[in-house]
Chain A
Amino acid sequence: MPDINNLKNYLLIGSAVFLSITIFACLLRAILGPRFTDRIIAANIIGTKTIALISIMSLIVGEDYLVDICLIYAIISFLSVVVLARSVIEQKHKSGGSNNINNNSHSADDLRSMIQQIWREPFNYIFEEQ
């Protein structure tokens, strides 16, 4: 029968590694997603998985007070999703059903102009429909 402490450490470290791999997969969806709501929910999922990861790490290190970060992070990720979704709904409501966001944005063909567009107009890049 192996050592009890070793078993607990293997369990926690293995689950932390697996969680971080799934976080990378969700980041892929945030980059690839054709619509902007894909990116909003990817940010939400990454936030929830980070909460689980911080709790596991606080047990590995042995410091009990690090779980306060999880409490605040849950509130902040919920707030960010609410602010992003409501800003889009209010903007759509004001412009009366038609989408005025795309009037000033230029669709980017190659990588360099895409990076320039992200740097100069980040709001248009996030919310443009493809």
Chain B
Amino acid sequence: MLRIIIAALLMLAGLFVLGVATIGIFRFSTMLNRIHIAAKCDTLGALLVLSSLIVLSGMTIFSLKLLLVIIFLWLSNPVSSHLVARAEVKTNPDLNKICDFMRFDEQGNLIKLNIKTDDEVSAS
């Protein structure tokens, strides 16, 4: 009985994270914010839901495979979100309106520092 209570708590927390993340995907206006939401919801939501299934089924090979899935998801999600953010930054022509950025040449020297002051931000 205690096992089902713990599994239910973990599962409800995981579903809460996933539900709030799907609302958040629609509410944010910038692309980079949405990448942030996707990375958070995937790792935390999958961890909570899959660990509730581990608690529910005890010490079997099923739990070991689910643990492997959790470890692989935690290793691969940061890499994929970084790649998607890089692809978005390279192909977006309207990046000036969203954030400030600096430009470097190939050796790492600073060419151009493009940070908006407070007057420019309030004027735009």
Contacts and interface: CB of A to CB of B under 8 A. Distances in A.
B49 A41 contact: no
Interface of A, helix, strand, loop or mixed by DSSP: helix
Interface size range on A against B: 35 or more
B35 A41 contact: yes
B69 A37 contact: no
Interface in A1-39: 4, 7-8, 11, 15, 18-19, 22, 25-26, 29, 35, 37-38
Nearest to B23: A25
Contacts, number: 128
A41 B34 contact: yes
Nearest to A53: B49
Interface of A: 4, 7-8, 11, 15, 18-19, 22, 25-26, 29, 35, 37-38, 40-42, 44-45, 48-49, 51-52, 55-56, 58-59, 64, 67-68, 70-71, 74-75, 78, 81-82, 84-86, 88-89, 92, 99, 129
Given A15-B11, A19-B18, A29-B26, A74 B84 contact: no
**By DSSP majority rule, is chain B's interface helix, strand, loop, or mixed?**
helix
A44 B80 CA distance: 9
A26 B45 CA distance: 15
Contact of A78 (B1, B26, B80): B80
Contact of A51 (B8, B60, B69): B69
A67 B41 contact: no
B114 to A, nearest CB: 17
25 contacts: A8-B4, A11-B7, A15-B15, A18-B19, A19-B18, A22-B18, A37-B84, A37-B88, A40-B87, A41-B81, A45-B25, A48-B42, A52-B45, A55-B50, A58-B62, A59-B53, A67-B66, A71-B68, A74-B69, A78-B76, A78-B80, A86-B83, A88-B91, A92-B90, A129-B93
